[in-house]
Chains A and B, each alone.
Chain A
Amino acid sequence: MKVLTGLLLLLSMLAFAEDANYTAARAAMVEELWLYAQFVDDPDEARISDAVMASMGTVKRHELVPPSERRYSYENRPLPIGYGQTISQPYIVALMTELIDTDADDVVLEVGTGSGYQAAILAELVDHVYSIEIIPALAIRAKQDLERLGYKNITTKLGDGYYGWEAHAPFDAIVVTAAASHVPPPLIEQLKPGGRIVIPVGERFMTQTLLLLEKTEKGEVITRQYGAVRFVPLTGEH
C-alpha cells in the first residue's frame, strides 16, 4: 500500500512538473510572439493586442496536438495533427484572431475546427464560438478535447461548412481555416453588417497571406489581403 501511495505521489509530481514545463514553454512562446508583433511597424498592419496575447498565453496548445507532436507544441510553427491537417502556427492564429477584432459579446463561426486550437483561442475572447468540421475523426477528437479542457462556450458539429450555420447566424465574425477555391457566398450572407471574415491563404505549413473580408453597415463587401509578415519584394526598397 505504501509503495502504491508513493508511486501515485511520484506520478502526480511528475504530472505537475510536466504541466509546469508546458506553462513555462507557453510563456516563452508568448514572449516570442511579442517580439514578432513588435516588428510590425506599419500602422495599417495587424498588431497583436494584449487580449489576444493573453488568450495565447492561456490556451493549452499541448492538449490539442497529437502526443507525438506534444514536445513541439509551444514552438512557433505549424504541426501535423493527422488526416492531412495541421494546427496553425501560433503567430498566424494570433494575427487572424486580431484581424477579426472581437468583442466579449460576439458570436463567432469557425469553419474547419481542426485541432480546436483556434476555437479555444476565440472562446477566451468572445461570448460563443460555433465550429464546423468536415472530417469526422477530427470533429470527434476536437469535441472531446475541448470538452475535457472545460470550454463551455464552444459548440462543434460535423458538417459542410460551405453553408455556414444558419441556426446561429448572423455572426459577428467568421474564421475560415479550411482551404477553399472561393469564399462561400452563404458565409457572407450569415455575417452581420460590420462583421469580418478572415481566411488564411496558402498551403498547409505555409500561410502566404491573410484575407480579411469586411461587410459594411450597408452590406457592401470590402476585402484586404495582408502579408503575414512585412516583406518588400524588391531589393533596395526596405
Chain B
Amino acid sequence: MRRLLPATLLVSAGAIGYELLLMRALSIVQWHHFAYMIISLALLGYGASGTFIALFKPQLEARFAAAFSISALLFSITMVLCFALGQRVPFNALEIVWDSRQFAYLSLLYLVFFVPFFFAACCIGLAFTCRRLDISRIYFFDLLGAGLGAVLVIGLLFVLIPQNALLMLITLPLVASLLMGIPSKARKPLMLAQVMWLALLISGIPQNQLGLRISDYKGLSQALQVIDSRVLSVSSSPLGLITVVDSPTVPARHAPGLSFATRHIPPPQLAVFTDADGMSAITSFAGDFESLGYLGDVTAALPYALLEQPDVLVLGAGGGGDVLLALYHGANSVDAVELNPQMTELVGDTYAEFAGFVYDDPRVAVHTREARGFVAQSNAQYDLIQIGLLDSFGASGAGVQSLNESYIYTVEAINDYLRITAPGGVLAITRWLKLPPRDSLKLVATAIDALRLIGVSDPGKQIALIRSWNTSTMVVKNGALSVEDVASIREFARSRSFDTAWFPGIQAGDANRFNRLDTPYLFEGTTALLGERAVDYIERYKFYIAPATDNRPYYFHFFKWATLPEVFALRKSGGAGLIEWGYLVLIATLLQAIMAGLVLILLPLSRVSRNWPARTGSRMGTYFLLLGFAFLFIEMAFIQKFILFLSHPLYSVAVVLSGFLVFAGLGSAWSQRLACKCEAGGRSPVALAAGGIALLALVYLFLLPFVFQRFIGNSDPVKIVMSVALIAPLAFAMGMPFPLGLKRVAEIAPDFIPWAWGINGYASVISAVLATLLAIEFGFSFVILLALVIYAIAAVIFGLLPARE
C-alpha cells in the first residue's frame, strides 16, 4: 500500500496531464476540433478498462502488482508511441467534403489516442478493484494526482514546447511502474522492460520521432515552404505556440482589405503564427510614417475618417498592426490589449527595433490582459475601440473555427465595449468577408441586438458597414451618425473603391458599385436585419446568422442542417466553400464515440453473467445511463462557460475538469453518510442530492454572469481559486448519485456492478461530444437545464429500485 498510493497519484497525474497536453498539441497540429474528442476518448479509456477488469478480474487480482506495473509501463510507452503514431495518421480536415477516407482517418486517430488512457485507467481500476478496503485513500490519491497533473502540465507548458513537456510527463507512470514492479513476482522481465524503456528515453530516440507534424495546410507550414523562409523564434505557453517566420527573399506583406486603388506597398513584415495559424504581422517601421501609407487604404481605417486624434483602445494587439494604424492616423493615445504575454514581448522587446519601438511610443500603453476582462474593469472613455482581424482568412473559412467559443463577438461583449465608448466615439470591427456573407452579417445582427438591448430604438442610425473584396469593417457609433459622418464614410469608401453596404439613408444605388457581386448581399442583409422582418430573414437565411451571446458564444458557427443537402450537391460545381465542415467533424466524432463505446465498453460486457430481474436491470441501466449524461452535460457546459472567465480553453479545461474530479470525489466519499442519514429518515438520498444539484445549478445560471462580470479583471490565480470555489459545492453534490446507485446495486444485484460502470462510462463518452453539439444548437443554459431534468428522472428511477434483496 505504501507504494500503491504514490503510484496511483503518479498515474492519475500522468493521465490528466496527457489529456491536456494532447489538447494543446492537436490544437497546434490540427485545429480546435479535437478538444472535445480528447475528453471523450479519455473517458472511453476509463470505460473500456472497467469492462476489461470486470472480464478478467480473478486473473488480474492474483497478479495485482505486476498488472498495475505493466499497465503503468504500457501507459508510459503508449503516451509516446500514440503521440507519434497519431501524428502520422494522414487526417486532413479540409479534405473531408471530398474524400470519405478522412472519416476513417478520424476514427483511427480516435482509437490511437484511446490506447494510453486505457492503460492509465487499468491502473486506477485495478487499484480500486483489488484493494477495496483502502478505496477511500486510493480515491484521494487518484483525485490529488488529477489536480496535480493539471497544475504540472500547465506549468510545464510555460517553459517547454509540448513534445518536451510530454517527455517529462511520461516519467510519471514510469516511476509508478518501477514502484509497483518491486513487489511483483514478474520482477525480472518487468525490470528488463522498464530499463529498456528508460534507456530508450535517455538515448533520445523517441524525441526524434516526436516533433509536431503540423498540418500542411496551416499558415505556418505554408509560410515555411516559401523560398529562404526560416523560423526566427519559437516560444511556448499554455496560451499558444508562437512561431516567428521571416523570408528575406519573399517577406510577408499582410494587408487585408487593401484597396485596389492604393499606390502604397506594405513594408516587409515578420509573420507571427499562434498555434501554427492565425497569422499576425510585425511590420518593419523605422519611424517614417510615409512608409505606412498603405494603412490609410485599408477598410479598417474607416473609423479614422470620422475621428480626429482619438483616444484608441485596440483589443487583440497581436503583432501591433492596429497600434501602427492608430499612430499613423494621429491617435492621441493608444491602449493596446493583448492576451498573450509572449506576443507583447515579441513586439515590445525581441523585435522592438524591427517594429520601430512602437510600444515605446509615449502615446502607447500595452496591457497584457484578456479583452473582456480589461473592458469590464475599465472606467476609461475611448473615442475608438478597434477590433482587427485576429484570425487568418483560411481559419475563418468554411468551419475551421465553428466549434470555437468566442466571447469577443457576442451581444454582451458589444454592450461592454459600448459602455466605455465616449459619446460620439465608435466601435470598429473588421472581419474577413465570406460570400454569401456569414460572419459579417452575424456581426451586424449581434450589434443590432446589443444596441436594442441598451434601449436604442433605431440601431440603423448608429451603424455603418463597408467592404472590400475580402474584408468588411463595421462601425457602431455611440450616438447617431451625423450627415457629416455619412459624407465622410462615403468619401472614404469612394476614394478607395470600397463599397458601402450600410449607412443611415443608404440607397440601393450606393451599394455594389466597385467590387460588384451577383447580389448586394451585405446591403440587402443589413437592410433586412434592421427591418421588421429580421427574425424571418434570419430564419430563411441558409446560414446560421442569429446573434452570438455569452450563452451561445459560437460566433463562427453558421451551419444549418437544411442547407447541407443543397451545398453538398453543389460541391463539384464550385460550391465546396459553402459547406461548413467543422460541424460535420463534430457529428462524425459523436458517431464514432457511439460506436467505439458500444464495441469497447458494452459489447464485451455481454460476457458477464446476468442474473437479475429484467425490469430491475433495465431500471438500473437507465439510472446509470442518465447519470453519465447529466454529469458530463453540466461539466462540459461549465468548461465552455468558464472559458470567458479564465480567458483560455486550456485553463478552463484544467480548472473545471480537476475541480469536478476532486470535489465530486469528496462528494462521493461523503455519500455513504448521506445514505445512512436518509435511511434513518426514510428519505431518498438521490432525490436529496438531485435537489441540491438543481438548486446550485439554477443559482449559478443566474449568478455566474454577474460574478464573471464583476471579477473577470482579477489576476489568473485569483480567478482560478474563485472558479474552484464556485465549482466545489456543485461538484460535491454531483459526486453522490453514482456511488449511491452503486451501493444499491451492490445490495440488490452485485453482478450488475460492471454494467453500472460500463453504461455510465458509455454515456460519458457520448455526452462529452453531445454536450458541445447541444450547446452550439441551444446554448449552455439549455444543456444545464436538460441535465437537471435528467437528474430528476434519475432520482425517480432510483426510487423505483427495490430496496434490498
Q: Which residue numbers of A lie inside 8 Å of B, CB to CB?
A: 32, 36, 39, 42, 44-45, 76-78, 80, 82-85, 89, 91-92, 95, 134-138, 158-160, 162, 179, 181-186, 188, 201-209, 211, 213, 221-229, 231, 233-236
Find out whether the CB atom of B225 lies under 8 angstroms from the CB atom of A83: yes
A162 to B252 CA separation, bound complex (whole angstroms) = 10
Find out whether the CB atom of A221 lies under 8 angstroms from the CB atom of B227: no
Residues of A within 8 A of B577 (CB): 202-203, 206-209, 228
Besides the contacts A158-B227, A227-B436, A234-B542, what 7 more A-B pairs have beta carbons closer than 8 Å? Answer: A135-B227, A179-B394, A185-B265, A222-B514, A223-B515, A224-B516, A227-B518
Find out whether the CB atom of A77 lies under 8 angstroms from the CB atom of B217: no
Find out whether the CB atom of A235 lies under 8 angstroms from the CB atom of B562: yes
Find out whether the CB atom of A134 lies under 8 angstroms from the CB atom of B227: yes
Kindly list the 7 A-B residue pairs having the minimum CB-CB distance in the complex, ordered from nearest. Answer: A228-B574, A208-B577, A84-B216, A182-B258, A233-B436, A36-B573, A229-B575
Residues of A within 8 A of B94 (CB): 203-206
| Distance between A216 CB and nearest chain B CB, rounded to angstroms | 12
Find out whether the CB atom of B575 lies under 8 angstroms from the CB atom of A228: yes
A137 to B224 CA separation, bound complex (whole angstroms) = 12
Find out whether the CB atom of A208 lies under 8 angstroms from the CB atom of B434: yes
With most chain B CB atoms within 10 A of its CB, the pick from A89, A181, A211 is A181
The verdict on B157 contacting chain A, using a C-beta distance below 8 Å, is no
The verdict on B699 contacting chain A, using a C-beta distance below 8 Å, is no
The verdict on B250 contacting chain A, using a C-beta distance below 8 Å, is yes
Find out whether the CB atom of A134 lies under 8 angstroms from the CB atom of B576: no
B360-385 vs A, Cβ < 8 Å mask (1 yes, 0 no): 00000000000000000000000000
Residues of B within 8 A of A179 (CB): 222, 393-394
Residues of A within 8 A of B263 (CB): 185
Residues of A within 8 A of B436 (CB): 227, 231, 233
Find out whether the CB atom of B253 lies under 8 angstroms from the CB atom of A181: yes
- Near A by CB (< 8 A), chain B positions 518-563 give 518, 521, 537, 540-543, 562
* Contact sample, A vs B, 5 pairs, CB 8 Å cutoff: A32-B572, A159-B249, A181-B393, A206-B577, A233-B436
Q: A76-B572, A211-B469 are in contact. Are A185 and B216 (CB under 8 A)?
A: no
Q: A185-B262, A233-B521 are in contact. Are A208 and B397 (CB under 8 A)?
A: yes
A231 to B572 CA separation, bound complex (whole angstroms) = 13
| Distance between A14 CB and nearest chain B CB, rounded to angstroms | 27
Q: Which residue numbers of B lie inside 8 Å of A, CB to CB?
A: 92, 94-95, 97-98, 215-218, 221-222, 225-227, 249-250, 253-258, 260-265, 393-394, 397-398, 400, 434-437, 469-470, 497, 514-518, 521, 537, 540-543, 562, 566-567, 570, 572-579
With most chain B CB atoms within 10 A of its CB, the pick from A76, A80, A206, A226 is A206
Among B217, B260, B262, point to the contact of A84 (Cβ < 8 A): B217
Among B92, B258, B576, point to the contact of A181 (Cβ < 8 A): B258
| Distance between B650 CB and nearest chain A CB, rounded to angstroms | 25
Find out whether the CB atom of A91 lies under 8 angstroms from the CB atom of B98: no
Find out whether the CB atom of B253 lies under 8 angstroms from the CB atom of A162: yes
A182 to B257 CA separation, bound complex (whole angstroms) = 6
Find out whether the CB atom of A225 lies under 8 angstroms from the CB atom of B227: no
Residues of B within 8 A of A211 (CB): 469, 515
- In the complex, the chain B residue whose C-beta lies closest to that of A39 is B573
Residues of B within 8 A of A208 (CB): 397-398, 434-435, 577-578
Among B250, B497, B515, B576, point to the contact of A160 (Cβ < 8 A): B250
- In the complex, the chain A residue whose C-beta lies closest to that of B96 is A205
Find out whether the CB atom of B393 lies under 8 angstroms from the CB atom of A203: yes
| Distance between A175 CB and nearest chain B CB, rounded to angstroms | 16
- In the complex, the chain A residue whose C-beta lies closest to that of B468 is A182
Find out whether the CB atom of B572 lies under 8 angstroms from the CB atom of A91: yes
Residues of B within 8 A of A137 (CB): 225
Residues of A within 8 A of B537 (CB): 234
Q: A134-B227, A136-B227, A206-B579 are in contact. Are A213 and B260 (CB under 8 A)?
A: yes
Residues of A within 8 A of B518 (CB): 42, 44-45, 225-227
Q: A203-B397, A205-B95 are in contact. Are A225 and B435 (CB under 8 A)?
A: yes
- In the complex, the chain B residue whose C-beta lies closest to that of A238 is B566
Among A32, A44, A181, point to the contact of B256 (Cβ < 8 A): A181
Find out whether the CB atom of A223 lies under 8 angstroms from the CB atom of B542: no
Residues of B within 8 A of A39 (CB): 573
Residues of A within 8 A of B572 (CB): 32, 36, 76-77, 89, 91
Find out whether the CB atom of B469 lies under 8 angstroms from the CB atom of A160: no
Find out whether the CB atom of A89 lies under 8 angstroms from the CB atom of B574: yes
A223 to B516 CA separation, bound complex (whole angstroms) = 6
Find out whether the CB atom of B516 lies under 8 angstroms from the CB atom of A207: no
Find out whether the CB atom of B98 lies under 8 angstroms from the CB atom of A77: yes
A113 to B264 CA separation, bound complex (whole angstroms) = 26
Residues of A within 8 A of B470 (CB): 181-182, 201
Residues of A within 8 A of B398 (CB): 202-203, 206, 208
With most chain B CB atoms within 10 A of its CB, the pick from A89, A188, A202, A233 is A233
A84 to B222 CA separation, bound complex (whole angstroms) = 6
Find out whether the CB atom of B514 lies under 8 angstroms from the CB atom of A223: yes
Find out whether the CB atom of B260 lies under 8 angstroms from the CB atom of A223: yes
Find out whether the CB atom of A233 lies under 8 angstroms from the CB atom of B541: yes
A39 to B542 CA separation, bound complex (whole angstroms) = 20
A189 to B390 CA separation, bound complex (whole angstroms) = 31
| Distance between B533 CB and nearest chain A CB, rounded to angstroms | 12
Find out whether the CB atom of A188 lies under 8 angstroms from the CB atom of B260: yes
Find out whether the CB atom of B227 lies under 8 angstroms from the CB atom of A235: no
A188 to B265 CA separation, bound complex (whole angstroms) = 12
Find out whether the CB atom of A225 lies under 8 angstroms from the CB atom of B394: no
Among B250, B254, B393, B567, point to the contact of A231 (Cβ < 8 A): B567
- In the complex, the chain B residue whose C-beta lies closest to that of A92 is B574
Find out whether the CB atom of A236 lies under 8 angstroms from the CB atom of B226: no
| Distance between A232 CB and nearest chain B CB, rounded to angstroms | 8
With most chain A CB atoms within 10 A of its CB, the pick from B257, B260, B570 is B260
Residues of B within 8 A of A236 (CB): 540
Residues of A within 8 A of B540 (CB): 234-236
Residues of B within 8 A of A159 (CB): 227, 249-250
Find out whether the CB atom of A209 lies under 8 angstroms from the CB atom of B250: no
| Distance between B225 CB and nearest chain A CB, rounded to angstroms | 4
A70 to B256 CA separation, bound complex (whole angstroms) = 36
| Distance between B288 CB and nearest chain A CB, rounded to angstroms | 19
Residues of A within 8 A of B225 (CB): 83-85, 134-135, 137-138
Residues of A within 8 A of B515 (CB): 211, 223-225
| Distance between B55 CB and nearest chain A CB, rounded to angstroms | 42
- In the complex, the chain B residue whose C-beta lies closest to that of A181 is B256
| Distance between B564 CB and nearest chain A CB, rounded to angstroms | 13
Find out whether the CB atom of B260 lies under 8 angstroms from the CB atom of A221: yes
A202 to B263 CA separation, bound complex (whole angstroms) = 25
Residues of B within 8 A of A138 (CB): 225
A36 to B570 CA separation, bound complex (whole angstroms) = 9
A70 to B470 CA separation, bound complex (whole angstroms) = 34
Residues of A within 8 A of B435 (CB): 201, 208-209, 225, 227
- In the complex, the chain A residue whose C-beta lies closest to that of B525 is A233
Q: A91-B574, A186-B265, A229-B575 are in contact. Are A80 and B567 (CB under 8 A)?
A: no
| Distance between A106 CB and nearest chain B CB, rounded to angstroms | 22
- In the complex, the chain B residue whose C-beta lies closest to that of A82 is B216
Find out whether the CB atom of A221 lies under 8 angstroms from the CB atom of B98: no
Residues of B within 8 A of A226 (CB): 518
With most chain A CB atoms within 10 A of its CB, the pick from B257, B400, B570 is B570
Residues of B within 8 A of A184 (CB): 253, 265
Find out whether the CB atom of B521 lies under 8 angstroms from the CB atom of A206: no
| Distance between A201 CB and nearest chain B CB, rounded to angstroms | 6
| Distance between B229 CB and nearest chain A CB, rounded to angstroms | 9
Find out whether the CB atom of B264 lies under 8 angstroms from the CB atom of A185: yes
- In the complex, the chain B residue whose C-beta lies closest to that of A182 is B258
A34 to B260 CA separation, bound complex (whole angstroms) = 34
A158 to B247 CA separation, bound complex (whole angstroms) = 14
- In the complex, the chain A residue whose C-beta lies closest to that of B260 is A221
Find out whether the CB atom of A206 lies under 8 angstroms from the CB atom of B397: yes
Residues of A within 8 A of B394 (CB): 179, 203-204
| Distance between A212 CB and nearest chain B CB, rounded to angstroms | 9
| Distance between B283 CB and nearest chain A CB, rounded to angstroms | 13
